[in-house]
Each structure stands twice: as C-alpha cells, then as structure tokens.
Chain A
Amino acid sequence: MEVNPPKQEHLLALKVMRLTKPTLFTNIPVTCEEKDLPGDLFNQLMRDDPSTVNGAEILMLGEMLTLPQNFGNIFLGETFSSYISVHNDSNQVVKDILVKADLQTSSQRLNLSASSSAVAELKPDCCIDDVIHHEVKEIGTHILVCAVSYTTQGGEKMYFRKFFKFQVLKPLDVKTKFYNAETDEVFLEAQIQNITTSPMFMEKVSLEPSIMYNVAELNSVNLAGECEVSMEQFILMLQMIKEMMMEKLGVTTFGSRAYLQPMDTRQYLYCLKPKKEFAEKAGIIKGVTVIGKLDIVWKTNLGERGRLQTSQLQRMAPGYGDVRLSLEAIPDTVNLEEPFHITCKITNCR
C-alpha cells in the first residue's frame, strides 16, 4: 500500500513517540437486573470484558493501561521523554549505525542520546531503541533533531535526519504580594494558578528565603501555634484536625482538596523575619531586597512530575522617610496614675 514510494528509500526507518504516562482505560457500564429482558446477559458481557474491574464491573475506571494517544502538551519543568526507534526495514544487514538525538531550543542545543557510540550492525527487522529524557527548562519552540547515519552493504554512507517540533507551555501563573508589618516582618502572599488543562497535585510549595530572612510557612493548621486560643476553640480545632486525619489527608489549610483543577488558584502565605544581623541593613528598611524564591513541585497523571522555581522575589521596603520610630516594648495594661515604661527605637533611614 505504499503510495508514491520515494525514489531513494532509506534502509532504516526512524520513529519517535513521546512517552507521556499511560492512561487507564475507562468503561461504559451498562447493567440490568435479573428480572429484565436480557436477564444476566448485560452483566455477563461486562464480566467477560477484560477491561472491567473484576468483582466490581460497574466501576468506570479500569486497570488496563493504554499508551498515549497523542503528543499532548508539555509544560515547563516537566520531563520530556521520548522513545526513539530505528528499525531496519530492508532485507540487508546495515553497518555502523549511529543514532543521535539533539534538542534545539531557542537558546541552546542539547544532546539527549544515551550513548554516542555506533552500533556495529543491524540485522533486517531488528531495531535500535533508545528512551530519552530531558527536563524542560525553557518555554517556547523546541525541536528534537534525530539524525541517523549508517553504511549499506555496498559500503555506501547514508544519512538522514528528522525534525520534531513541539511547544513548551507555561504550567503555572504565580503572583505575589507583600504585606509589611510594623514589626519588620514581611508577609508574602503567593497566588499559584494552574493554567494547564489537567488537574495538578501540588506536592510542594515552599519559599526558599534569601540569606537575610527566616521564613515561617503559614499553610498548615498548626497545633502548637503561638497564638493563644480559648479551650473551646482548641477543642474545635482538635476535632477539625481529627477529621482531617480521618480523611487521611495532610492538615493543610486547603482541607481535603489536595489538587488544583485547571484554572484554579491557591493562596499560600509566608511570614518572613529578618535575621538579627541584618535587621538594620539597608534593604530591610530602605530600597529593594531579595526575599527569596518559591520552589514548586507538582504531579499530574500517574505521577508525572514537574518542578519550577520563581525568579528571586523582590520587595520594596515601605518608605519610612529619613527617620523611623518604632516601639520596641510597651506594657499590655497599666495602672492609672502610675508611670510606665515604653521602649522606642529611632532608626536613621538615610
């Protein structure tokens, strides 16, 4: 059925398939009851179907794995995996086969082949297989360049290439906002939006602070919280936590919803305290400082993993003017007619 065969056919054929994770086969359950006209027939048909779950045929989600059906999307931070197969379609032995896979991005060219040594010979109907992996670090057009060279039986050197182009998309939209507390603490609110088309499980979202700050993550329900709570509140909290434990889910502020649907946004909150030694440094009180960066790890279908970091987050200190007056200590309650102490701090911000 080869239509319009090329004049010069190569003895080898190169095929490339992207290996996204396989998917689980889904059934359409149709059942009936014993008393219905088909009797047990429909149920029997479902029991005989190898793709249904043995003993619970009504379940839609089966166990049968199917290979990826299309190239799909690839997102920044994910790993691009691909199967490269070079097959000897001819009936002669081919020698000195070298397969090379390069990835051309807009800024660089990477060699992805596992081995760079040539295969001495390839018999008819045999193939050379390679699975390449590459963590995608750039957005935009990527081209996988596969080159094959070999020597025919007649000693002729042959060479061909194939180009496979794909786009790398941005998976997340991250927005940040800083809140300055009177106490030199900085609160960072980060909104992370899933802009892919599939649900995303956020495995880790953490703030890696710069050298000047210590960070406290405020995204989990903390039992040993510093804040004082009444006994009733405490019991209520304990119950909540217990419920969450029963749900076998982490005690995060996100409750049982551990994943982000497409276009869903989630808020994370961090409290940053300047380290003592940097408390008076210029960046804390004036100008722009680097606060740190967010490190995000997510997983999608069957554990397909992705990881991204934001660029260094920068914060502009609030304008204190030339001199800043801050209260260091002040009593909670004071008695009438009695003197009391407050400690002030005056900082020269110039």
Chain B
Amino acid sequence: MENAEGADPSTPERSSPAQGPAESAPPQVPGAGQGQLLYHEETIDLGGDEFGSEENEPVSEDSSHFGDKLNEHLMESVLISDSPSNSEDDAGDPGCLQDVMEPARGTAGPTLEDVIDKGALDTPSDDVGSDGEDTPRDVSDVTPDSRASLKEDPEQEEAEDLPTLENGGVGASGPGAGEAPPGGAASGVCPRQPPPRDEPVPVCTIFSQPQPAGSQPPSLRDGFESQMVKSPSFSGASEAAPRTPPQVVQPSPSLSKFFGDTAGANSLASDFFDSFTTSTFISVSNPNAGSSVPENLSSLAATPGAENSPGSASYSPGMERSESGISSASLEIPQSPKPFSQIQAVFAGSEDPFATALSMSEMDRRNDAWLPGEATRKVLISVATQQYSTVFVDKEDLTMPGLKFDNIQGDAVKDLMLRFLGEKAAAKRQVLSANSVEQSLVGLKQLISCRNWRAAVDLCGRLLTAHGQGYGKSGLPTSHTADSLQLWFVRLALLVKLGLFQNAEMEFEPFGNLDQPDLYYEYYPHVYPGRRGSMVPFSMRILHAELQQYLGNPQESLDRLHRVKAVCSKILTNLQQGLAEDGSTSGLSQENRQASIQLWRSRLGRVMCSMANCLLLMKDYVLAVDAYRSVIQHHPEQEPQLLSCIGRIFLQIGDIKTAEKYFQDVEKVTQKLDGLQGKVMVLMNRAFLHLGQNNFAEAHRFFTEILRIEPTNAVANNNAAVCLLYLGRLKASLRQLEAMVQQDPRHYLHESVLFNLTTMYELESSRSLQKKQALLEAVASKEGDCFNTQCLKLA
C-alpha cells in the first residue's frame, strides 16, 4: 500500500512533488508567523458535477493495481477537484473561512478557495483566491431530494411530490423523486462512495446481502409522509436545506463482514489453520474405525502402517502383520473392489450366519445406523432378497464419484517469499508435500496434523485414485467401501477447511443427497455380510449440509440439516421405544441401548448446533438464539459457552441490555463450577459488555485481568491490544501483540492476530512492508501450506 500511495501520481498527498517545497517556501511564512501555525483554512468544494466520477477514480485505480483491498481501513486521501461551474451559495458558508490563521493570507479575505486540482497538486498558486467563488455549495441545490423535505404539507398524501426546495430550478425532479435520487445530471453529488470491496478478507465473511441495486425504500404508501430525520443537536442548515440521502448503500463496515454480506461468501470464508504442536505425531487410536471389511477387499489395508490405520481389519491381526511386513508403500497394488455384480458372483452363497453375527458388532450398528429413503429402502430390500441374481439398479441411482481436479498443491507462503524475500529465503521454506510422506493413512494424518492440508487433499486424491475413483472417474461405475467414503470425507472436509468451497461442491455433487443404495452396507451383502447401515460417515452428512451455507445457499443448508435432524430424531424415538436404531425389533441390551441413545443424542445436538450456526449466518438472530438455547439441552456441559455466545449475538445486534442478561446467567451457571475456565468466561463477558457500552478502558482492564490469571490466553491478549488501539495507544498495542507472537509463535500466529498486527503496522508508519515481511518469515517457519496469506496484506 505504501507503494500504492507513492506511485500513484494522482493522489494528492505528502508524496506529491510539488507540494513539499512549495508549502514550505519562505514566502508562505511571514516573519510574524514564525513558529506559529501554518495552516491554510480553506473551503473545499463539495459539489461539482465532476466530483462524483473523479472521486472514485484514484481509489479504484489503486485497488485494481495493487489488488489490496484489505487496506481499506486506512482512509485514502482523496483528490478534490475544483469545479468551475460552481453555483454560488453564500448562505451555505457559515464562517468557516473567517478564521484564516495565516497572516499572509488575511488580505485575501475570507472567501479564499483552496483549489486542489489533479494537475496542480495543492500548489500555493492555487491558494490565491483567484476565484472568489464561495464554496461549499449547498448540496441541496444539486440534489433535490424531496423525501427529505420537511416542508411537506401535512395533509398531502404524496408529500414528496411537492418538494419545497429553495433552489427551484433543479428541484424539478418530479414525482419520481421519491423513488431514488436522480442518478443523472441533476444530482451533482454522486452518492457513491469508493467502490464497495467485497474482496476476500481474512476474516470469514459468511454471507452478505449486497444491497440490491434498486433497493430504495419502497415508495410511500398511502397516507404516510416521509419525515426528515436529523441529528438532534443539529440545527439550522439541515432543516433549511433538505439534502439528498445518498441512497446507494454499501455493505456496512464491520457487521457486513460477519453479518452483512452474502456476496463472495465462498471466497471470503477463509482458511483456518490451527496451531498445533506438531513435533510429535499424534497417533489416533480409533479401534472401531472401519470395519469388518475383509482384508483382501480393502484397498488400503495393503499399505504399511496398516496396523495403525483404521482400515485394518480388527479380527485378523495376524494376517495384517504379515502383510505390513512385506508390502512396500506402493499404491499401485490396489485391489480395488470389483464391480458389484462380479463380487456377488464370487461370493454368492458363501454367506455364513456366524460370520454375520461376528462382523456386525454393536459399535458398527450403532454408528452406521441410518434410515434410507423409501426408494432406496426398496432397492436394498430387493438386494437382500434376491441373493442369486444381480439386482438391476438404475445408473442414476448409483454413486459414481471421481476427483474433479487434479492437484491443488501449492504454497502461497512460498510464493510470497519468492516475491518479497527472494529465492534464497524461499528455498528455506520446507513443507511436507504429498510426496514426502508415506502414501497411506499414516502419511495423511501426518500432513493434516502439521497443517499441510493442501498436500493432504492431494494425498487423499491419490488414495482414491488407487481405489478407482480418481480423476475423470466420475460417472463411471464403481463400488464403495467404508474406507473409500472415509477418504472422501477427509478430502472434502479439508477442502472446506481450506475455504475451497466450490471445489468441494464439485466433488460432492455425484454423492447426491447421500442416500443412494450403493452407499449402504446392505447393497454389498457378500462384502459386508450381515452388516447394515450407511457407509457415509455422519460427519460427512453434516459437512454436506453445511457446505451450502458457505456457497451462499443457507436455506439449502437448513433443509439438509432438517432432514438429518429428522432421521436422528426418528432413530432416537426407535431406541426409546425399545426398538433397534432402524426400527427393527431386536434385543438390545440395556447397556447397548443407553450407549446408542447417548450417541444419537449427541448427534442430534451436533445437528442443532449446525442449524444455529446457519441461522446466525442468515442473520435470523431470533431463531438462531432459540436454536442455541435448545442446543443447551443436548450439551448441558456447554451451557456457559452457549449462553455467552448468545450474549455476544445480542451485543452484535446492538441489544446491550439483553446481552447483559445472558452474561448474568453465565455468571450464575459458572458459580457452580470452580476453576479457571469459568472465571475467564465471566471476565471475558464483562469485558465485552464494556465494549458494547463504548468503554474501551474498562474493557481493557477486564481483558488484562484475564491475562493475570491466565497469561497464555490468546483471545484476551489480542483483545486487550485491540482496546489499546481504540484508546489511542498504538505503540502499546503493537508491543503487546508483538510480544504475544514472539512468546509463542506456534500458538499465536493466528490469522486474526496477524491481521490486527499488519493493520496496525500500516497505521503506524510508511515502512510497514519490512515489518510484514518479518511476519512472513515467522509464518514460513511455523505454518503449513494451509496458511491464509491474505491476513499479511502483502499481496
């Protein structure tokens, strides 16, 4: 951005060559004014027909050149052009010119106009009041807006049709005036601001509601007069001269980012990386994962490390060990499942009730239970009954996924390093790629846990290719295993985590609504004898539903979540009525039933929470709050967090009183628990409340109080620093954030912290670039390939 300012010749700033020397030239400083003020009091033309168009120009140019939309928070100085065709309106000039403090210019009289022009950037010659013309022009004379007129005849139904404008000539905007401010020549002041930036920002913007172009307030209904609103302490001018409310509204500053815009939801929701202590590999023990898949059918079981992998068959440990001993990491030996009919032919008649009983473990049944749709259920029944012949299933009812894109590998951090730090520095950047790890689930977990998600997506792709569902295989018949679906889940989940929603959507598409018959174990009676339920992980259903909200279709998300919720509720009802999950009569032991009920309750809670999140994105705060409250019943252990969250929602709406009530409830709830977490929560809420009351000093005090009892609290640290900035203590704020990042870079190099830090660097000096580059280096040594470089604002 510094470059931007320096390079853009049209920005009349400190950098303008003409300005510096000219302004400081001795003639400007008469002896009497020595050491005194050097201010030019000038009036700036606010009217000007050319104004509107020109005002946008430098800014948009800037942004298109440098593509750095994140710097918007710093105000851009603008070009102010003089419009020679000013109509005079002395009345609108309330003595702002009288207090010309510069003695030399006292003679020029109070009507000096400081002309700032594109050509002559603020040169002193312009200061000579050559045109005694008085600005500011009253906006009303160019922008008649009858809506704001306060002189309406009270009995007039369509008051806006009769604007009583002082400047009659321009006021002839006719009855249409109520609809919109005339965009044409009549409205000299273009209400447009610098173009709204819906660019990706590191902070996740989930949806936006860009003001529809023509979304002016609807024209007046019968009997209603529009009323002028004004600030209470303002008198005179605005009453006398109704002004155009610029009706072009942009997404609002802050709220829009979270609550406002829908546009660009996909691009905006940013990646989130997590800090992780990656030095040791996190071994995940999930003995139940997977499955009773016969060894020879599992494409993944042949890879080394299968012992640790969930893909291994739990009932044949001996065999597995021997396999892992001999096989090398080659993926080229996938024994990908044969097409369904063949498999059936091979296994026909080999069904063994004993095997069935063995493989159908309680855990599997509980986890995989799902209620298929009516059509799917019929197909599954016919598969179960027609054991000796192939069941014909319409191709459209089959799931035929395939990779839709080959390779999303890439490392944005390295790219930036190449650009800003040179090749030598960039060479030092080492991240694991899909090639550098074992081509197995072990390698996959390694990539995920060290935050190389792009590489992990790639590795998932390779493993799926080995399974016969690789690039270009979409639409070709295939068969599924529990493992292949788990791989898909991981890949799609990572794509969502990376913010690559479109890609995820593309690859999700062949799965339809996750209810096709070939996604059920019953479809493969010989591969999974006796096993019932869905191969689709429950989390994948949630992901499938949630994805839509990030693509800007929150309604579709809600629909899908409701379907998931309906099944969860039905299963819970079945269990409570003494049936098995799927409604069949089976003797579940009490213990098993309780475990099942617990699992499905927590799943129901998970769905409810997703629904609440989705409603929050839809800005339906009333329903969102209701949904969060009902989540409390499913996750009572999270009550204080949920209540705090509701309180924060009310704070964001601006309803401070209700927020306070919820925060008080949190205090009551946490009184029962002792321990650090409760105390931190209470203090955090108090701080937020003070923030809502505009009391940054008190908010800062409470955030600092948290740091006293929990010095490593990243949120309190960051928030305290933010408060300091609002208190006018930029340097102190920077020191706090810098200290925090240096103290534990692994943990604190968080996107939001870095964003705040770079924002303050930009505010601090013109040399923010070096400091940002230093941050880039810090990031390079700690972060994986999923790091969202946008927060560094280097682009």
Contact = CB atoms under 8 A, between A and B. Distances in A.
A54 B243 CA distance: 49
Nearest to A15: B763
A51 B714 CA distance: 8
Nearest to B136: A106
A219 interface: no
Contacts of A314: 154
Nearest to A45: B274
Contacts of B47: 106
A233 to B, nearest CB: 26
Contact of A70 (B46, B93, B253, B751): B253
Contacts of A30: 493, 496-497, 543
A208 B51 CA distance: 39
Nearest to B42: A145
Contact of A38 (B2, B191, B243, B448): B448
B766 A130 contact: no
A225 B639 CA distance: 39
Contacts of B691: 21-22, 65, 302-303
Contact of A172 (B72, B97, B229): B229
A65 B246 CA distance: 31
Contacts of B179: none
Contacts of B588: none
Interface string A299-321: 11111110111111111100000
Contacts of B13: 160, 162
A4 B40 CA distance: 28
B272 A51 contact: yes
A45 B136 CA distance: 57
A285 B339 CA distance: 91
A85 interface: yes
Contact of A140 (B139, B651, B765): B139
A96 interface: yes
Given A8-B21, A177-B224, A107 B138 contact: yes
Nearest to A307: B232
A221 interface: no
B14 A69 contact: no
Interface string A18-47: 111111111111111111111111101110
A53 interface: yes
Given A109-B41, A140-B244, A259-B654, A67 B725 contact: yes
A39 B497 contact: no
Contacts of B748: 50
Contacts of A107: 92-94, 136, 138, 237-238, 241
Interface range for B:
35 or more
Given A37-B289, A83-B728, A149 B224 contact: no
B542 A54 contact: no
A213 interface: no
A198 interface: yes
Interface in B265-319: 269, 272-277, 282, 284-286, 288-289, 310
B230 interface: yes
A228 to B, nearest CB: 30
Interface residues of A, number: 167
A14 interface: yes
Which residue, of A27, A82, A263, has the highest number of chain B Cβ atoms within 10 A?
A: A263
A259 B72 contact: no
A71 B76 CA distance: 9
Interface stretch (A235-243, A290-298, A339-347): A290-298
Which residue, of B24, B239, B487, B730, has the highest number of chain A Cβ atoms within 10 A?
A: B24
Given A107-B136, A108-B96, A296 B44 contact: no
A299 to B, nearest CB: 3
A145 B114 CA distance: 12
Contacts of B256: 72, 197-198
Interface string B65-80: 0000110111111111
A55 interface: yes
A3 B441 CA distance: 49
A17 B763 contact: yes
B154 A63 contact: no
B310 A39 contact: yes
B656 A16 contact: no
A15 B74 contact: yes
A160 B73 contact: no
B539 A3 contact: no
Contacts of A62: 715
Contact of B37 (A4, A6, A149): A149
Nearest to A69: B201
Given A53-B641, A308-B230, A69 B257 contact: yes
A73 B253 contact: yes
B317 to A, nearest CB: 19
Given A22-B254, A63-B715, A87-B764, 4 more contacts: A18-B75, A30-B496, A145-B44, A197-B252
In the A-B complex, list the 5 residue pairs whose CB atoms are closest, starting with the nearest: A72-B253, A39-B284, A170-B245, A299-B654, A109-B96
